[in-house]
């Protein structure tokens, strides 16, 4: 696609297995013939599901989109662990399960992980330590102290009966989590509570950044879509944000387009950001600065 101008907005992709998130971004960048493309939350190659792609000016919103909860469904296998915490890595520990855990034991273990927890990222992850990513240390056989990370587990529970086959006990789950949560590690954490090695054996993101799987489009279909129909798949920036709207006067627009701050005398203090419109077009988002007691720019989409 070679549009006359840059496309701005959100495209929700149903990422297939076997591709990195960067691979998807590269294909979308080529399809739209524009460089300004990013994503709000990496999915590992073996994980499928919702990958939110930001186009053009919507890339400014990636930080906001990443703060929104993500929901996953998957499967956990008890009885072995791998170097990558999923099925992509070699097995590093195995314990035969001859007497399966009761479903109550598993439910209690999962319940103990709901709320605010601290995780240690897997060695095979993109977290940086001393300027290098953890997976680079792992691939070179080096060990390094991994940083702890805060995560919030909003809802994590079992969604199927357990099965026992070849001394491995399996069950399905759903997890709604905050930014920065490693679901692979959540599986390992569950095993740690049960004192058994565990591995994430399947994972799919079914919602992220406010978008569900039912709003996503298969990558193959996107690539095959005509230029005219392609634009219809893009969610406008104004539909992505849910803050209060404010229609600017001519004087207010002059201040906003010049990046000026707005006095508390003009706009009362408010925790919620303001979406600023002029002539029915979203121009910017302002937030209230409690330290300086004034409104300042957070996002600018147009000053024309």
Please give the DSSP secondary-structure letter assigned to residue 231. G
H-type alpha helices, the chain: 21-32, 62-66, 103-111, 134-139, 183-194, 219-224, 227-230, 237-240, 250-257
Q: Are 183 and 43 in contact (CB under 8 A)?
A: no
Q: Which CATH architecture group holds 241-300?
A: Roll (2.30)
Homologous superfamily of domain range 9-68+210-239:
Pseudouridine synthase (3.30.2350.10)
Give 261-299 pLDDT, tens digit per residue: 999 999 999 999 999 999 999 999 999 999 999 999 999
Q: Are 1 and 231 in contact (CB under 8 A)?
A: no
Is pLDDT above 60 for 232?
yes
- The predicted model gives 126-141 an average pLDDT of 70
Which has more pLDDT, 217 or 45? 217
- CA angle in degrees (0–180, nearest 5) for 50-240-253: 155
Cβ neighbours, 10 Å, residue 127: 17
Q: Which CATH architecture group holds 70-205?
A: 2-Layer Sandwich (3.30)
Is pLDDT above 80 for 143?
no
In 3D, which of 206, 165, 259, 225 has the Cα closest to residue 28? 225
Q: Where are the domains of the chain?
A: 9-68+210-239, 70-205, 241-300
Is pLDDT above 70 for 42?
yes
Which has more pLDDT, 132 or 250? 250
The catalytic residues are: 44
pTM of the model: 0.90
Report d(CA 54, CA 40) in Å as an integer.
7
Whether 9-68+210-239 and 70-205 share one fold: the answer is yes
- Cα dihedral sign for 100, 103, 104, 110? positive
pLDDT in the model for residue 138: 66
Q: Work out the percent of the chain whose per-residue pLDDT is above 90.
A: 81
């Amino acid at each position: 696609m070679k549009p006359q101008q840059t496309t701005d907005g959100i495209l929700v992709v149903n990422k297939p297995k076997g591709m990195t998130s960067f691979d998807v971004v590269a294909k979308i960048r080529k399809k739209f013939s524009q460089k300004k493309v990013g994503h709000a939350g990496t999915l590992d190659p073996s994980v499928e599901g919702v990958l939110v792609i930001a186009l053009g000016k919507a890339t400014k919103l990636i930080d906001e989109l990443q703060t929104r909860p993500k929901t996953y469904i998957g499967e956990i296998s008890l009885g072995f662990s791998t170097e990558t915490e999923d099925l992509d890595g070699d097995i590093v520990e195995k314990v035969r399960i001859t007497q399966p855990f009761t479903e109550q034991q598993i439910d209690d273990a999962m319940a103990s992980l709901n709320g605010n927890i601290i995780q240690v990222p897997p060695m095979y992850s993109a977290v940086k330590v001393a300027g290098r990513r953890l997976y680079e240390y792992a691939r070179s056989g080096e060990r390094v102290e991994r940083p702890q990370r805060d995560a919030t587990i909003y809802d994590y529970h079992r969604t199927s009966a357990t099965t026992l086959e070849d001394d491995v006990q399996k069950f399905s789950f759903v997890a709604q989590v905050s930014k920065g949560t490693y679901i692979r590690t959540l599986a390992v954490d569950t095993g740690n509570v049960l004192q058994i090695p565990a591995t994430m054996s399947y994972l799919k993101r079914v919602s992220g950044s406010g978008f569900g799987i039912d709003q996503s489009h298969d990558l193959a279909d996107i690539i095959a879509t005509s230029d005219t129909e392609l634009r219809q798949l893009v969610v406008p920036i104004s539909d992505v944000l849910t803050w209060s709207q404010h229609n600017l006067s001519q004087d207010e627009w002059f201040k906003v387009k010049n990046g000026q701050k707005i006095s508390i005398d003009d706009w009362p203090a408010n925790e919620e950001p303001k979406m600023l419109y002029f002539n029915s077009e979203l121009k910017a988002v302002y937030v209230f600065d409690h330290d300086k007691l004034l409104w300042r720019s957070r996002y600018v989409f147009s000053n024309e």
